[in-house]
Amino acid sequence: MGITRPRWSYPTKLTVSLLALAFVVYLLFRFSVVIPPFILAAILAYIISPLADLFHKKNHLPRILSILLGYLVVLLIAASFPVVLIPLLASEVSAINVDIQALINWLAALGQEPLILFGRSIDIGILLDELTSGLQGIVEPVISRSWGLLVDVVTSFVWVIFIFIVSFYLVKDGDKLRLWVEQRIPPAYRQDYILLRLEISQVWAAFFRGQITLATVVAIIFICTGFLLGLPFALLMGVLAGLLEFLPSIGHGIWLTIAGLLAFFLGSTWIPVPNWVFTLILIGLHIVFQQFDLNYLIPRIIGGRVHLPPLVVILGIVAGAVLAGVLGIPLAAPTIASSRILGRYIYASIFDLDPFEMNTPAEPSLALPQPPSGVEKI
């Protein structure tokens, strides 16, 4: 015969919940150094998991072997980029060295003549000497920190091992972890949890897998267009455009600033127009491409699941950079989109509405499947 135990009162439940929440916040603050590597491990596991499932189901390989093959495929893809790009970039890097040397010679010649500004003579040589001394004062302490640099290298290696191990177990035990979390959810809210998990999972899948495809397409377009226009360092600028596509809204501005300076000071490599005219042509074409990117490429490749107003994305990037550093910049958009889904659910629950029928016109409706009785694969 079981023992009847008294139920907790509402004040007791509230007090224990607040204390548990405070303890979790304290742990996050106390061990905040582990959060960025864990996020990277989760991202890596998210990329490896489909490959491991493919090897496991299609080829009937053992689960651990399938996971290791997934890591091997990702490693080979990552290693192929420098192997392919380095020979292609060699000639452009040498051209950069020539231009830098010409710039140094120009600055040296400039320092030999005084600058007349508002009727006053300014000795540029003295200013250059002070600038050189200041740079030396910055560089010398960095060079002298050889022991600190060695410690940083060892620490980074340890974190890489940590990321690999955590991501491995996230892939290996992902189904068990999802089932464990699902069983902790009260039965009355279990269906809502599964629907929210599916919707948020679609947001992150659209971002990560779609963003890689989008960056590749953008890099190819910019490389081809750069060579056709004669943009200096077209290959480097094309690769940079693809990488900056991971920074929504502000990536275009960063690329246009760099490309505009190159066009204005160096001009086209073969089109016989003044540099300022070439700069205007570049700006005009980039404005056209930006509209094409926002209205066609992003909706077609990534889809509307991460669709956010540009101002919200920019503010999110700034907030992400302040709160999470470099890692918070590319993850700002999917994090805001996920927060929007959770905020919609909380709002609907407060006002007794259906949270899964509140998609606004800016957020396309999502046909959510009925949750199964067992574990739902993402």
Q: Is residue 173 part of a domain?
A: yes
Is residue 38 one of the residues assigned to a domain? Answer: yes
**Which range of residues forms the domain containing residue 146?**
34-95+122-184
Residues contacting 41, CB < 8 A, separation 6+: 162, 163, 164, 166, 167, 170
Q: What residue type is 214 in one-letter code?
A: L
CB within 8 A of 43, min separation 6: which ones? 208
Q: CB under 8 Å to 4, separation ≥6 — which residues?
A: none
pTM of the model as a whole: 0.70
Rounded to the nearest 5°, which phi and psi values hold at 16? Answer: -65, -40
Determine the pLDDT at residue 301.
79
pLDDT in tens, the chain (378 residues): 456 778 888 889 899 999 999 999 999 889 888 888 998 898 889 889 888 988 888 888 898 999 999 999 988 888 877 777 677 666 665 655 555 556 566 656 655 666 565 566 666 566 666 666 665 555 555 455 556 667 777 788 888 899 999 999 999 998 899 999 999 999 999 999 999 999 998 888 888 878 888 899 999 999 999 999 999 888 889 989 998 888 776 888 899 999 999 898 888 888 899 999 999 999 999 999 988 887 888 877 776 667 777 778 778 878 888 887 777 878 888 888 899 999 999 999 998 888 887 664 444 444 444 444 444 443
- Per-residue exposure over 165-181, b if at least 16 CB sit within 10 Å of its own CB, e if not: ebbbebbbebeeebeee
Domain membership flag for residue 175? yes
Structurally, the chain folds into a number of domains equal to 1
Q: What pLDDT score was predicted for residue 372?
A: 46
Q: Is residue 45 part of a domain?
A: yes
66 assigned to some structural domain: yes
Assigned domain for 133 exists = yes
Is 102 among the domain residues? Answer: no
Rounded to a whole number of angstroms, the CA Rg of the chain reads: 27
**Domain-located, residue 233:** no
Share of the chain above pLDDT 90, in %: 29
**pLDDT in the model for residue 363:** 44
